[in-house]
Amino acid sequence: MDLSPPVQFDLHRRMVRIRVFEEAAGRLAEANKLPGFLHLYVGEEAVAAGVCGALNDDDHITSTHRGHGHLVAKGGDFNRMMAELMGKSTGMCKGKGGSMHISDLSLGMLGANGIVGAGSPIAVGAAFANKYRGRGQVAVAFFGDGATNIGAFHEAANMACALNLPIVFACENNEYGEFTPRSATMAITDIVDRAAGYGMPGVIIDGMDVVAVHEATLEAVARARAGDGPSLIEAKTYRFYNHHGIQNLGLKYRPDEEVAKWRERDPIFTFEDRMIENGTMTRERVDEIWAGLRNEIEVAIKFAEESPLPTPDQILVDVYTSMTGAAK
Amino acid sequence: MSDVRKLTYGGAFNEAVRQAMEADENVFCAGEDIGAFGGVFGTFLGLQAKFGANRVVDTPISEQAIVGLGIGAAVTGLRPIVDLMFMDFICVAFDQIVNQAAKLKYMFGGEATMPLTITTGGGGGLSAAAQHSQSLEAILCHIPGLKVVYPSNPYDMKGLMTACIRENNPTVMVKHKRLLGMSAHVPEDNYEIPLGKANIMRAGTDVTVVAYGRMANETLAAAEKLATDGIECEVIDPRTLQPLDTDSITESARKTHKVLVVHEAVKFGGLGAEIASQIHELAFDYLDAPVARIGAPFSPVPFSPALEQHYLPDAASIEAGIRNLVQRS
Ligand SMILES: Cc1ncc(C[n+]2csc(CCOP(=O)(O)OP(=O)(O)O)c2C)c(N)n1
Ligand SMILES: [Mg+2]
């Protein structure tokens, strides 16, 4: 590991923040306290953390239906995120978006997305604007393996390459799209094979290894900032829970042994072991970090629970910038 | 015995598909997660085990290609059922639906036939937010060449789905997500409910209420409540939205002289606007009041239950709407 200790701490903290947030969300969902669909990011933390840790605050990301992890990794505020999941007026989206549309434009997070593949073209637009204004920002499109089967992804990848835009395509290949294995829906094994078709470099990395993700992203981001165009990163990873909801074992479309095998490679625990082994971190310090963040999430849950619900008059607010002339 | 057999709305869909596949080997299904998994709403359960992966196809997440697969297979002699999980996803496949499926027959001078059924889950009420809750049926009804079907109960689901599959024109079958578990008597024998034929769900003399999908049931509940106050509603479920059974609706309007149209799609530009216009054109002289409409406000579907519960019409708001209308003379 060549990364300096502060960078390692930063990546670790981003991952633990995601895990703590997601496990709390899972518990709340189990207690029927969260309305709607909940797509947990647990197991894939190294991808969001490794990528976002390589970005500046003013760089942009687009996300997916599995979007909490991306927002947390970009610095998302626990209180307002939790409030959004509960549909409260203090939420990131004032209760109008929920889990599937969680976003924070002030952090360059251009939204989770309910439409598979829809984020990539939007990331292309952000990359275009960044190049246009010449401020050196980059955009990252997060997407799943399944999303690479949809036209929007291909159009986005081609356009980004044709226009030589500062963008990184970050694929979370967790081997499933909903309840169907990747092998049933594409004839290739590696998403990275697609990159060559558009004329961009692509790498496969171990998505359970935050350092590998981070280093690959640093390289891709440097290329983008230098004006050398798009890259694709394929992170091999796994979601520990069901497509949505909180069940993790006994699922009919994937064997429990497979889940257990991936859990052994837990991206957070394995990284902690490595850091402790090479003396960057102590077990006590690790425990402190978890405890501190668990405290923070309890505060956030309380904030969310005590926050007011949006009132019905809010339904027609923010459809347009101005209400004048809008239909009722 | 078979008279009392009950099936859910989702089960009735499944049975219609199964019987059609048994009867006609040209019928096949394709869609995301519908094969091994049986569909995210369980509406395709057991079909791949019965008919094999060749006839119940798990597709990639590729809505354009899914509809295109259906179009190409239909025009070359098969009878496809293609599934677009959520109605919101029709937008991803809009070119194939609107510019291709709907128009091929016409553009080819009548030479093509398109026995294609597109199935999809519509409607709100699940806190599924703005991209998984929409009611986009009016947009589809606006496209010449498409037929649009929206059952409100298990019995209609089976008969209408059977008709869709046998139909030689492209049809969109909308399943309301919140009706999937609704259970009622459904005959085991195969039967067809003709497209374009409304159902008078309840006869009444004071006011006509036209409603479809889940709103038909909400309207029935409101009508039963109003009956205890002596207000007799005639409740009409068009069942097929395109072609629309204008005759049944206007006939009822001539009888009751007052009409309310209810849907959970946004009111502006919704089916209610079309139905109201038709009644005004065809039965204006019989009306005691302008045709009234209930629909959602002009906004995307909000996530928070605190907002969505006010966004969607329900029995209470429909009851209030009817009371408002019958007071007019
Ligand atoms: C256009 C579209 N089609 C289908 C869906 C339903 N859906 C939601 S998530 C998902 C699977 C996505 O798989 P992948 O891109 O691999 O992401 P993962 O869930 O594995 O993170 C599907 C099919 C959708 N939301 N949008
Ligand atoms: Mg996946």
Ligand 2 center from residue A143 Cα (angstroms) = 8
> What is the CATH number for A230?
3.40.50.970
pLDDT band at A287 (very low <50, low <70, confident <90, very high): very high
Q: Is the CB of A145 under 6 A from ligand 1?
A: yes
**CA of residue B161 relative to chain centroid, distance:** 10
Cα nearest neighbour of A65 on chain B: B131
**Closest Cα to atom 11, ligand 1: which residue?**
A177
Pick from B125, B156, B185: which residue ends a domain?
B185
**Cβ(B132)–Cβ(B86) below 8 Å:** yes
Split into its structural domains, chain A has a count of: 1
For B108-111, the CB contacts below 8 A with 24+ separation are none
Is residue B132 among the annotated active site residues? yes
Site to probe by mutation for ligand 1, drawn from A38, A115, A154, A178 as the one with most ligand atoms within 8 Å of Cβ, is: A178
Per-residue tokens: B268 = 């502006």
**Co-location of B150 and B210 in the same domain:** no
Per the domain annotation, does B191 fall within a domain? no
| A254 chain-B contacts, CB cut-off 8 A | none
pLDDT band at A189 (very low <50, low <70, confident <90, very high): very high
Whether residue A324 has pLDDT greater than 70: no
Cα nearest neighbour of B295 on chain A: A328
Per the domain annotation, does B194 fall within a domain? no
Query: Can you tell me which atom of ligand 1 is nearest the CA of A177?
Result: 13
**Co-location of B220 and B151 in the same domain:** no
Nearest to A192 by CA among A183, A184, A201: A201
Split into its structural domains, chain B has a count of: 2
pLDDT band at A1 (very low <50, low <70, confident <90, very high): low
CA angle (B318 as vertex; B312, B324 as ends), nearest 5:
130
Q: Which helix (H) or strand (E) element contains residue A294?
A: helix A283-306
Calpha distance A110→A97 (Å, rounded): 13
Per the domain annotation, does B16 fall within a domain? yes
Calpha distance A172→A302 (Å, rounded): 32
Per the domain annotation, does A323 fall within a domain? no
CA distances from residue B169 to B30, B41, B157 in whole angstroms, order as listed = 18, 26, 18
Q: Which residues of A touch B (CB under 8 A)?
A: 35-37, 87-88, 93, 95-98, 100-101, 113-117, 146-147, 149-152, 177-180, 184-186, 252-253, 309-312, 314-316, 319, 326-328
Calpha distance B301→B265 (Å, rounded): 10
**Co-location of B272 and B209 in the same domain:** yes
Residue B228 has, within 13 A of its CA and on its CB side, a CA count of: 6
Whether residue A326 has pLDDT greater than 90: no
Cα nearest neighbour of B266 on chain A: A328
> What is the CATH number for B320?
3.40.50.920
Average pLDDT over residues A50-77: 98
Residues in chain A: 328
Nearest to A165 by CA among A134, A119, A207, A190: A134
Across the A:B interface, residue pairs with CB atoms under 8 Å apart total 136
Q: Is the CB of A196 under 6 A from ligand 1?
A: no
Nearest to B170 by CA among B290, B306, B302, B70: B70
Q: Which domain holds residue A277?
A: 5-304
Per the domain annotation, does B239 fall within a domain? yes
Helices A151-162 and A119-133 pack at an angle, to 10 degrees, of: 20
Mean pLDDT of chain A: 97
Q: Is the CB of A115 under 6 A from ligand 1?
A: yes
Number of H-type helices and E-type strands within chain B? 12, 14
Cα nearest neighbour of A153 on chain B: B62
Strand A180-181, strand A176-177: pairing: antiparallel
Per the domain annotation, does A271 fall within a domain? yes
**Co-location of B210 and B171 in the same domain:** no
Verdict on whether the full-model pTM lies above 0.95: yes
CA distances from residue A240 to A43, A66, A251, A279, B185 in whole angstroms, order as listed = 5, 13, 11, 29, 41
pLDDT band at A2 (very low <50, low <70, confident <90, very high): confident
Average pLDDT over residues A249-259: 96
pLDDT at A328: 65
Average pLDDT over residues A17-21: 98
Helices A45-52 and A210-225 pack at an angle, to 10 degrees, of: 40
Q: Which helix (H) or strand (E) element contains residue A123?
A: helix A119-133
Site to probe by mutation for ligand 1, drawn from B32, B61, B66 as the one with most ligand atoms within 8 Å of Cβ, is: B61
CB contact under 8 A, B131 and A114: yes
**Co-location of B22 and B109 in the same domain:** yes
Per the domain annotation, does A314 fall within a domain? no
Whether residue A318 has pLDDT greater than 80: yes
Q: Which domain holds residue B70?
A: 2-185
Pick from B155, B185, B215: which residue ends a domain?
B185
Per the domain annotation, does A147 fall within a domain? yes
Calpha distance B14→B38 (Å, rounded): 10
Going residue by residue through chain B, which has 329 residues, state the pLDDT in tens, using 9 for 90 and above: 456 899 999 999 999 999 999 999 999 999 999 999 999 999 999 999 999 999 999 999 999 999 999 999 999 999 999 999 999 999 999 999 999 999 999 999 999 999 999 999 999 999 999 999 999 999 999 999 999 999 999 999 999 999 999 999 999 999 999 999 999 999 999 999 999 999 999 999 999 999 999 999 999 999 999 999 999 999 999 999 999 999 999 999 999 999 999 999 999 999 999 999 999 999 999 999 999 999 999 999 999 999 999 999 999 999 999 999 999 87
pLDDT at B328: 85
Task: Provide the shortest C-alpha distance from residue B250 to chain A (in Å).
Answer: 27
**Co-location of B19 and B51 in the same domain:** yes
CA distances from residue A104 to A16, A99, A166 in whole angstroms, order as listed = 20, 12, 21
Calpha distance A27→A31 (Å, rounded): 6
Could you give phi then psi for residue A42, rounded to 5 degrees? -55, 130
- Would the CA dihedral through B140, B141, B147, B153 be positive or negative? positive
pLDDT at A252: 93
- Listed in sequence order, the residues at least 6 apart from B151 whose beta carbon sits closer than 8 Å to its beta carbon are B9, B157, B160, B161, B173, B175, B179, B213, B239
**Co-location of B251 and B131 in the same domain:** no
CB contact under 8 A, B130 and A96: yes
**Co-location of B175 and B219 in the same domain:** no
Nearest to A127 by CA among A170, A72, A164: A164
pLDDT at A322: 79
Q: Is the CB of A58 under 6 A from ligand 1?
A: no
Calpha distance B66→B75 (Å, rounded): 14
Calpha distance A124→A168 (Å, rounded): 9
| B306 chain-A contacts, CB cut-off 8 A | 87, 95, 309-312
Average pLDDT over residues A241-248: 96
What pairs with residue B148 in β-bridges?
Answer: B172, B242
Query: Can you tell me which atom of ligand 1 is nearest the CA of A182?
Result: 16
Mutate which of A66, A82, A179 to test chain B, going by most B C-beta atoms within 10 A?
A179
> What is the CATH number for B152?
3.40.50.970
Average pLDDT over residues A81-100: 98
**Co-location of B153 and B277 in the same domain:** no
**Co-location of B246 and B314 in the same domain:** yes
CA distances from residue B108 to B101, B102, B243 in whole angstroms, order as listed = 12, 12, 22
- CB of B46 within 8 Å of any CB in chain A? no
**Co-location of B31 and B165 in the same domain:** yes
- CB of B49 within 8 Å of any CB in chain A? no
Which amino acid is located at A300 in the chain? Answer: A
Instruction: Please name the member of B36, B60, B304 whose beta carbon is closest to the beta carbon of A253.
Output: B36
| A314 chain-B contacts, CB cut-off 8 A | 302, 307
Cα nearest neighbour of A86 on chain B: B304
Nearest to A211 by CA among A50, A53, A69: A50
Calpha distance A213→A235 (Å, rounded): 7
What pairs with residue B235 in β-bridges?
Answer: B202, B209
| B61 chain-A contacts, CB cut-off 8 A | 116-117, 146-147, 149-150, 177, 185
Nearest to B233 by CA among B194, B268, B203, B264: B203
Residue with tokens 């329900």: B314
Q: Where are the alpha helices (DSSP H) in B42-152?
A: 47-51, 63-75, 94, 104-107, 137-141
The ligand minimizing its distance to the Cα of A175 is: 2
Say what the ipTM of the complex is. 0.95
| A95 chain-B contacts, CB cut-off 8 A | 302-304, 306-307
Calpha distance B299→B286 (Å, rounded): 34
Q: Which helix (H) or strand (E) element contains residue A122?
A: helix A119-133
Task: Provide the shortest C-alpha distance from residue B131 to chain A (in Å).
Answer: 6
**Cβ(A59)–Cβ(A109) below 8 Å:** no
Per the domain annotation, does B79 fall within a domain? yes
**Cβ(B191)–Cβ(B159) below 8 Å:** yes
Average pLDDT over residues A194-215: 98
Q: Is the CB of B15 under 6 A from ligand 1?
A: no
Q: Is the CB of B32 under 6 A from ligand 1?
A: yes
pLDDT band at A325 (very low <50, low <70, confident <90, very high): low
